[in-house]
Structure 1
Amino acid sequence: MDTVQPVGDPLLLGQRLVAILETGLRTATYKLATLMALVEHCIENLPAREHDSLAVPIPELAHRVLDLYWRQVRPFDGRELRQSTQSRARILIAATTLRHASRGASSLDTARLRAPEAYRKVIDDVVLCLAQQPLHRLQKLPGSPTSDPFLYDDAFLHDQVSRRTLRSHGDAVVLNPGVAHALARLSGLLKPALEVMWVDDVRRMNKFLDEDVPDVAGHLFGRSRSGFAAVREPFKDAFGPHCFYCRTHLPANNPIDHVLPWSLVGIDGLANLVLACARCNGDKSGALPALNLIDRALDDDRAISLEQIATSLQWPTQRDRVAAAARGIYRGQPTGVPTWSGFRQRERLDISFPPAWLRP
């Protein structure tokens, strides 16, 4: 890997990726899921230096990919959505199997707590699927006999790669120098583009989804507000019935907000969830929050209460993951970018005196 030249312009890397994805007819949504998972991994594990390489454990990638499909395997208007033209869609079968084993857990992390042995078996199967399919095809133009390893060395990956071979390579792919920073910086452009491709593929693979069938994207990538109802009352008991942002008193069915927006990184852990009023929730939407809001969300005293709630609900806090994602997101932003600091309030980003969670 030392002979690989660092990535230059991140936009050129993004263009190469999109060219591969848009050339030819995809037979499954697995490439899109793998790339989306890679982007999120880079955000949460951003190397200290821009031109560093980054090892990506395939089991961690498998968890992220499985998490993307976790809600998608639910029936849509009473019907299962196809996401592969093959007769056996391994990753969707894995997600459905684990959902059953975990008694319909609302999230993958909850399923891991409820059914650890089933989770390990499913992840092992998804690891092999990723290695045998999307990971060694993600850098290859359709019809080309060889790949162009501009993201990572894939020479050891092929359709029949074994677990033994994967273990000999540390169960990981190593991103080339500069790729992690480039993917993290491109996240705001790549994620929406990948979602559009994903919806198009699902419509193509499911003939009943004509143009008159609404909100396919909402089913695939939307957030079910009812899924967060379980945290509302425990949060009010622990922190009081007040908006996290403006402190106004809350009604019975107030929103639950993601501090780091779902559009930037998909973290449903308790550390990324807060009580909000409808006014702040709507005004903030997918905006990047001000640094002091992340400070408050990661506060040590709040973390103690969240751990207690996590135990009673079997809902992980993911505090370390929130901190890592925030660090990757803010370090990739230009100085002076506007951030949301409250209802109709904005402040310019300045990380010249970074808080503890933002330091490398």
Structure 2
Amino acid sequence: MTDPLLLGQRVLAILEHGQRDATYKLATLMALIEHSLENLPAHADDPLAVPIPELAHRVLALYWHQVRPFEGQVLAQRRTGSRTRIIDATKALRDAARVGGGRMSLELAMVRAPAAYAAAIDRIALALIKQPLPRLQKLPGDAVSDPFLYDDSFLGENVSRSTVRAHGDAIVLRPGVAAALARLAGLLKPALEIMWVEDVRRMNKFLDADVPDVAGHLFGRERTALAAIRAPYKDVFGPHCFYCGTHLPPDNPIDHVLPWSLVGIDGLANLVLACRRCNGDKSNALPATPFVDRALADERLSALDDIAKVLQWPTQRERVVAAARGIYRGQPPGVPTWAGYRRSERLDISFPSWWISPN
């Protein structure tokens, strides 16, 4: 069985000591962690196929808002001379969908410009095949990689898309790796974000210590965009905190049921109205499963479908369900969960419908 701690140490060692000319390795690893969480195998020791186009979509989603101007400039994500295929593909889709500098969701852009989206996925998939995927497991000075995560022998700079399609257009995480990445998500993702911010600061000389909230720009912690759902939610569900039921003021927070720090899902199925007390106390904690049961209840999700049509905002119900399953199945027995203001309870899975894997 793969030891999650040892695997995490190996991953961080490669990232810390290996060459990082761009942020693409970090994005690729984040995408692999997200895929593992949301597609957790039925058994911890099972391998997991990761379709490269799906991986490309997750990488695109990570850069989708990052390519907007920050302090009047588009942040460089690579050192001078490095190729910018992923960033260029992301910008091309934003241009085709007429996003401008706004925060249109990637899902809406996909509807507006389907051909441009397909082209972006193909370009990003090719970029992943040629650089980050074959380099993610290689230490500096080594002639070949150490494929402890997946077989990368058919990937590389001179490989064509047709060659990769002959391998199922996917990489396969080795037995136990997906479960280990899912278990480590809460530790690895914050570490990767710190590295990402440090790299971007190095690559953009104007980002000195006085420049505010680079991390917020890179990782979407600007919550103002979520305000659009406040009024429709209050109309449908009432002006009450999802967690404690207290009556809400006009400017109450919007909370991510599954913590944003663990899975950055902004779909309506993962968003609820909250009071400031519960929102601040819950923070990045994992909620007790009864809250997840309520968030994923059929009647609530049905109501969200109507809101989604009006706002053109995706519910992402399947992704939230998959992420919930992966997160909770990856937790050690008895881990504390947030059960309300200043209350916690040990994790107890009573086999709700979302717990059962479709596989």
Instruction: Report the TM-score when normalising by structure 2.
Output: 0.95
CA distance in 2, matches of 1:130, 1:238: 43
Alignment of structure 1 residues 89-108 onto 2, 5 Å:
89-104=84-99, 106-108=104-106
Report the counterpart of residue 256 of structure 2 in structure 1. 258
Report the counterpart of residue 30 of structure 1 in structure 2. 24
Of 217-226 and 33-42, deviating more is 217-226
What letter corresponds to residue 210 of structure 1 in structure 2? D
Report the counterpart of residue 272 of structure 1 in structure 2. 270
Alignment of 1:200 with 2:194, yes or no, is no
Alignment of 1:359 with 2:356, yes or no, is yes
Deviations 1:82-118 (A, max 9, x none): 0012354111112222122223252212211222121
Q: Which SS does the other structure have where 1:346 is aligned?
A: strand
CA distance in 1, matches of 2:151, 2:49: 11
What letter corresponds to residue 138 of structure 2 in structure 1? K
Shift of 1:333: 0.9
What letter corresponds to residue 354 of structure 1 in structure 2? F
Q: Is the 8 A contact 1:135 1:154 kept in 2?
A: yes
Unpaired segments of 5 or more residues in structure 1? 1-5
What letter corresponds to residue 197 of structure 1 in structure 2? M
Report the counterpart of residue 133 of structure 1 in structure 2. 131
Report the counterpart of residue 20 of structure 1 in structure 2. 14
Q: Is the 8 A contact 2:256 2:271 kept in 1?
A: yes
Shift of 1:64: 0.7
Shift of 1:13: 1.0
What letter corresponds to residue 20 of structure 1 in structure 2? I
Report the counterpart of residue 337 of structure 1 in structure 2. 335
Alignment of structure 1 residues 67-146 onto 2, 5 Å:
67-85=61-79, 86=81, 88-104=83-99, 106-146=104-144
Q: Is the 8 A contact 2:241 2:274 kept in 1?
A: yes
Report the counterpart of residue 287 of structure 1 in structure 2. 285
CA distance in 1, matches of 2:40, 2:82: 38
Shift of 1:16: 1.1
Shift of 1:316: 1.0
Shift of 1:24: 3.8
Report the counterpart of residue 177 of structure 2 in structure 1. 179
Percent identity of equivalent pairs? 70
CA distance in 1, matches of 2:231, 2:96: 27
CA distance in 2, matches of 1:177, 1:75: 41
Deviations 1:7-39 (A, max 9, x none): 2x2111111111111114410000000001100
Report the counterpart of residue 43 of structure 1 in structure 2. 37
Q: Is the 8 A contact 2:22 2:82 kept in 1?
A: no
Shift of 1:212: 2.4
Report the counterpart of residue 319 of structure 1 in structure 2. 317
Report the counterpart of residue 300 of structure 1 in structure 2. 298
CA distance in 1, matches of 2:4, 2:223: 35
Deviations 1:138-190 (A, max 9, x none): 01112211111100011100102111112111110000000000111111111
2:218 to 204, 217, 220: 220
Unpaired segments of 5 or more residues in structure 2? none
Cα 1:87/1:13, change in 2 over 3 Å: closer
Calculate the aligned-residue CA RMSD, in Å: 1.2
CA distance in 2, matches of 1:347, 1:24: 41
Q: Which SS does the other structure have where 2:246 is aligned?
A: coil
Report the counterpart of residue 157 of structure 1 in structure 2. 155
Report the counterpart of residue 232 of structure 1 in structure 2. 230
Shift of 1:258: 0.5
What letter corresponds to residue 162 of structure 2 in structure 1? R
Alignment of 1:56 with 2:73, yes or no, is no
Number of aligned residue pairs: give it: 353
CA distance in 2, matches of 1:229, 1:120: 30
Deviations 1:210-260 (A, max 9, x none): 222232112112422211122111111111111111111112121111000
CA distance in 1, matches of 2:236, 2:93: 32
Q: Is the 8 A contact 1:113 1:314 kept in 2?
A: no
Q: Is the 8 A contact 1:153 1:174 kept in 2?
A: yes
Q: Is the 8 A contact 2:241 2:273 kept in 1?
A: yes
